[in-house]
Chain A
Amino acid sequence: DVKVTQSSRYLVKRTGEKVFLECVQDMDHENMFWYRQDPGLGLRLIYFSYDVKMKEKGDIPEGYSVSREKKERFSLILESASTNQTSMYLCASSLAVANYGYTFGSGTRLTVV
């Protein structure tokens, strides 16, 4: 069964810590995406990548960075975690065609205290 795997389901970090959220897909997909999900705001795109070592800012990139050193892995980095980054983080991957849609990971619920 094809999968997008996020390394942690629940994470608690302290303010100011550097946080790494990892995402791995086994479908040889070109595109990978990071979203955050907050009640009433839906899914908001943080960053995406359409190839190894390539990255593009989404709608809310501030306070985040990403890394894609290998095709199957896309990491989201919170350089200095803040309480307003407490959220559900969702990773997704897709083929490089518009009619495929996404395959999502199970999400990481991050709490910053």
Chain B
Amino acid sequence: AQSVTQLGSHVSVSEGALVLLRCNYSSSVPPYLFWYVQYPNQGLQLLLKYTTGATLVKGINGFEAEFKKSETSFHLTKPSAHMSDAAEYFCAVSDRGSTLGRLYFGRGTQLTVWP
């Protein structure tokens, strides 16, 4: 089974500061990679995903992530944090070639944005 590690269960930044949320996966074959966001008392919403092609992927709300095969990483960034970015963020992977499409999730990173 896939393993996904999100470094830091809590990250705090000031409004306007860079946001960096870290994600590493364990598979030797690069999987498909996803970032989801969860606002309080809601389900998860897709931010962005990497399947093939350009390794820098842009998503909604100004977020982007870069797939680095050599580092088995898919870190999420945003140049300037906004108060509305405060939420929990989940990294997930799925196996290429799988017809089930099951996602394996990290444990999540809670992002706090200070004014």
Residues of A within 8 A of B (CB): 4, 9, 31, 33, 40-43, 45, 48, 50, 90, 92, 94-107, 109
Give A59's nearest chain B residue, CB to CB.
Answer: B1
Determine the main DSSP class of B at the interface with A. Answer: loop
The 7 A-B residue pairs with the shortest CB-CB distance, nearest first, are A104-B43, A42-B107, A99-B51, A98-B98, A104-B44, A43-B105, A98-B94
Find chain A residues with CB under 8 A from B18 CB. none
23 A-B residue pairs with Cβ-Cβ distance under 8 Å, sorted by A, are A4-B43, A9-B41, A31-B100, A31-B102, A40-B107, A41-B107, A42-B90, A48-B100, A90-B43, A92-B44, A94-B101, A98-B95, A98-B97, A98-B98, A98-B101, A99-B49, A99-B101, A100-B101, A101-B34, A101-B46, A101-B92, A105-B43, A106-B43
Tell me the bound Cα distance from A101 to B103 in angstroms: 7
